[in-house]
Structure 1
Amino acid sequence: MKLANLEVNGNSHLGVCINDSIIDVTKALANEQRTDLPTSMMDYINADDHTQHAFQDYVTTLSKTNPAKVAESEVTFGPVVPHPEKIICVGLNYRKHADETNSPYPEVPILFNKFNNTLTGHNHNVVVPNVTKELDYEVELAIVIGQTASQVSEDEALNYVLGYATANDLSARDLQLRTPQWLLGKTLDDFNPIGPYLVTKDEVPDPQQLALTTTVNGKTRQDSNTSDMIFTCKEIIRYISQHFTLKPGDIILTGTPEGVAMGMPETEREYLKSGDTVTVSIEKLGSCTTRFI
C-alpha cells in the first residue's frame, strides 16, 4: 500500500493512494460508522498484524467500490509519520558522497538525530532561516520501523521494517560544521520534509536497488542509486538495534548520495535561497517537493 498522512481541517486523516488518486480512509470509515480499523497514520503504525491485515482488506474493498477520490494535487500532505519517537540519521553513507567531500569511508555508521520539529510534508513551504547562509538539500531513503527491534541480526533486520519513504535531510552547512557535533545544522524547523507516501515494504523488494534524484528549480543536482550505500539498510538496522531499541514509527534516514552543494568546488556552490523549489524523488516511493520562502 501507499499510505498518506492527510491534513484535513486541522486533523490528521489516514489516506491511501490508488492509481494516483487519494482515498480518505478516515472519512470512509466514519461514513460507515466503523471503529475497528485505524483512522490515523500513528494508529496504523501501532496496530497489531491482524488489524493491519484487516485494514489492507478494507482498502482492497474500497478500491473496488470506487468511493470519492481526489487528485494528489487537491490534498494537503502532512509528514508521513507525524509523531515518531526517534528520527535517526546516518552520515556519509554513500561512497561517491564521501568522495566528493574528501572524507574517508566510515568504519561504522555515523549516527546523529533530528527532532519532530523538523518534520513537514510534501508541497509545503519552508522558511529559509536567517541564521544560515549555506542551506543544502539531501535526498534520502527513509526507513520506517514497524516492530520493536532490539539486538536483531542482519538477516532478520528487514522483517522489522514497516515501509519506506522519500525524505530531504535539509542541512545548514555553516551551522553543521561550526562544531564537531552536526546537530545544530540539522534540526532547524521544517528541516525534514518527508513523503508524500509511506510505501509498505511488500512494494519494495530490494531497498538497495532504488534510483534517487534531486532537482533544484527543475535542474538535476543529485542522480544516484541506493546500491552506492556503504552500509545497507539491514546493516544499519542491525547496528542501531545493538545499541538501543527501535520502536514502531521510528524513522531512519539512510544518508545522501553525491551532488550536494557542499560537495562542489567552493566557488561553484549554489546553496538554497528564498524562491527555490526542490524536489527529491525515489523510485517506487514518489517525490517530495519543498518551496523555500
Structure 2
Amino acid sequence: MAGLALVSAAGLVLDDRILLGQPIWAKPLKFSLSFIAYGLSLAWMLSLLPGARARRVGWWAGTVLTAASVVEMVLITGQVIRGRRSHFNNATPFDTAVFRTMGLTVVVLWLAALLIAVLLLRARILDRATAWAVRLSSLIALAGAAVGFVMVVPTPEQLARPDSPTIGAHSVGVPDGGPGLPLTGWSTTGGDLRIAHFFGMHALQLVPLVLLVLAALAPRYARLADDRVRLRLVLVGAGSYAATFALLTWQALRGQPLLSPDATTLTAAAAIAALTLAGAALALRTPRRLELAA
C-alpha cells in the first residue's frame, strides 16, 4: 500500500485526467493511505492476542483481510488506468463484473475484521484500558465499514431505470461528482456517506490514540497513573466517538452537507460535546477512599 501510495501520488502529478470532478488518481491514493493506517493498527492489535490458538486464528484472519485488500486495490487501480469509474459502475458487463468482485472482497474483508474483533473481545488483556480501547475501536470500525453496504443500495432513480449505468451512490440527495471539499471530495451540496464511513473506520487508530496520550501524560499527572481513571476516560472517549459516528451517518442520510448542519444536527452535536465533558470530569474524579488514604 505504501508503494501504491507513491505511484498514486506520481499519478496526480503526471496524469491530468479528471473523473467525477476529482483527479483520477485521488481515489487509489486515499484508499492506499487508509489501508496503511488500518493495517498497522490491526497488526498491533493482533500482537496483543494471548495464546497460540488465538494468534493462529488471528494470523489467518489477518492474511485473508490482507488478500482481500490487495484484490480491492488492484481492481480500483485497474479501473483508474482504464479511465473508468470503479465504484457503482454498471455501464458495461466488464465494469459490472469489476464492481461485483469488489463488493465480494469487501464482504470478505469485513468478515475477517469481525473475526478479529471477536478474538479481541474474548482476549484476556492485562491492562483493562488497553483491552477496551482495542475492543471498542474495532467494533466502531466494523460499523464504519458497514456504511459501505448502504452505499451500494440502488437509489429510487436507478431502480426506475433497469439500464442505469450506475448502481448505488455515496451522495444523498444530490448526484455523485458534484461540488466537494478539497482533497476528500466530500459533497458540499448534499449528504455524503463517505464521511461516516471514513470516520468510523478510523476509530481503529483514534480511540487507541486516546489511550497512548493518557499513558504519555501519566508520569506528569498523578490521576492518570491510576489505571481505573484511564479506563473510564477511554470508555468516555469511545462513547463520544461512537455517538459522533452515529450523528455523521444520520446527517448524511438526511441529505445534509457536513459543513451546513441544521439546528437539529447542531443541537445533537452540542449534546454529545456536553456529555463528553461531563463524562471526562466524572472520570477524572479521584475515588474518595484514595483521597482519605493520601
Q: TM-score range by the shorter chain?
A: under 0.3
Instruction: Provide TM-score, normalisation by structure 1.
Output: 0.25
Q: Which has the higher contact order (CA 8 A, sep 6+)?
A: 1
Instruction: Provide TM-score, normalisation by structure 2.
Output: 0.25
More helix by share: 2
